[in-house]
């Protein structure tokens, strides 16, 4: 009996309380400012109060660029060999591929014809200045290590490289293709030495008929990663 009374009492209490609550709203009593809780999806019992964390990419010094200088010998077909020097900027896309921009300068000498004929000159003095730039794509085909004695190891890369560019020589700018290979010797994790061999090819008709010339260049370089 007691439990039945208790249940009855509880039912009455619940109805009357909810009725009061309804009346309260009906006659404008109560706290109007607090809006009813917004519709929650059914089943959501606990509102997670955890703030979503912003995922921040850690700031780490990236060293994908490589900048440096080089100097070597350029053999200009028909015009002898001379010192060449220039700048190199590379961007390493992956551990294999890199893009490289080089700009270099050298100077053409006298052709055999000019030397034998005395004063006859095929091109003027200023036209013997040789300038070029290249935009190339390289691939580190043989990465490796070399050992100096027992305690020292250096990372190296043998790379193949090819690209396009332009050459200013003998009074004209010419479309130039370059192909070659190089050897990058890393003195430490940021500084490298290069030995590079390049063939610069372009068409020229200076000596009568048009022909493709091969200007071979070998140079030593020094670069820094940043």
Partner 1 sequence: MSEPSTTTIPSTPQRIKSAFAACLCVVVLLISPAAPLEAADDYRSVAVADPYLEMHTGPGRGYPIFHVIDRGETVDVVKQRTGWFLVRAANGKEGWVDREQMELTLQRDGERFSLRRATIEDFTNARWETGILAGDFGGANSIAVYGSYSLNPNVSVELWGTQILGNFSNGWMAGGNIVHEAFPEWRVSPFFTMGAGYIRTKPKSTIVLPEDRNDQIGHVGAGFRIYVTRRFVLRAEYKSYVVFTSRDDNEEIEEWKAGFAFFF
User: Contact residues for partner 1 (CB under 8 A)?
Assistant: 53, 55, 57-64, 67-71, 82-83, 85, 92-95, 97, 99, 107, 109-110, 114-119, 125, 128, 135, 137, 140, 143-145, 153, 155, 164-166, 171-175, 186, 189-191, 222, 224-225
Nearer to partner 1 (CB atom), residue 19 or residue 144 = 144
The rounded distance, in Å, linking the Cα atoms of 64 and 184 is 15
Q: Is 138 exposed, middle or buried (0-12, 13-18, 19+ CB in 10 A)?
A: buried
List CB contacts of 120: < 8 A, sequence separation 6 or more: 113, 114
Q: Return the number of the residue (2 or 51) whose C-beta is nearest partner 1.
A: 51
**Please, what is the minimum distance in Å from the beta carbon of residue 27 to partner 1?**
54
Residue 62 CB, shortest distance to partner 1, in Å, is 5
Cβ 130 to partner 1 shortest distance, Å: 12
Instruction: Measure the CA angle with vertex 171, ends 170 and 172; round to 5°.
Output: 100
Handedness of CA 79, 84, 87, 92 (dihedral sign): positive
Q: Least Å distance between CB 135 and partner 1? A: 5
Nearer to partner 1 (CB atom), residue 181 or residue 186:
186
Give the nearer residue to partner 1 in terms of CB position, either 73 or 181: 73
Sign of the torsion angle spanned by Cα atoms 136, 194, 143, 215: positive
The least CB distance from residue 196 to partner 1, in Å, is 14
Cβ proximity to partner 1: between 82 and 199 the closer is 82
Name the minimum Å distance from CB 58 to partner 1.
5
Nearer to partner 1, 7 or 153 (CB): 153
Would strands 65-75 and 211-225 be described as parallel, antiparallel, or unpaired?
antiparallel
Asked if residues 215 and 200 have their Cβ atoms less than 8 Å apart, the reply is: yes
Cα separation, 91 vs 222, in Å, equals 15
């Amino acid at each position: 009996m007691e439990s039945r009374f208790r249940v009855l009492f509880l039912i009455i209490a619940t109805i009357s309380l909810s009725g009061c609550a309804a009346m309260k709203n009906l006659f404008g009593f109560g706290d109007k400012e607090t809006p009813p809780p917004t519709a929650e999806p059914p089943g959501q019992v606990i509102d997670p109060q955890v703030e979503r964390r912003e995922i921040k990419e850690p700031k780490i010094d990236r060293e994908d660029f490589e900048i440096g200088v080089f100097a070597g010998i350029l053999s200009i077909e028909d015009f002898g060999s001379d010192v060449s020097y220039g700048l190199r900027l590379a961007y390493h896309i992956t551990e294999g591929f890199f893009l490289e921009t080089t700009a270099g300068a050298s100077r053409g000498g006298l052709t055999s014809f000019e030397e034998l004929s005395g004063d006859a000159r095929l091109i003027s003095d200023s036209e013997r200045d040789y300038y070029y730039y290249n935009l190339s794509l390289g691939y580190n085909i043989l990465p490796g290590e070399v050992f100096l004695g027992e305690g020292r190891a250096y990372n190296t890369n043998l790379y193949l490289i090819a690209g396009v560019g332009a050459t200013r020589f003998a009074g004209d700018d010419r479309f130039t293709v370059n192909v070659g290979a190089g050897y990058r010797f890393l003195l430490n994790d940021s500084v490298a030495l290069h030995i590079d061999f390049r063939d610069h090819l372009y068409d020229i008709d200076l000596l009568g008929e048009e022909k493709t010339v091969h200007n071979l260049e070998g140079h030593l370089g020094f670069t820094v990663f940043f």
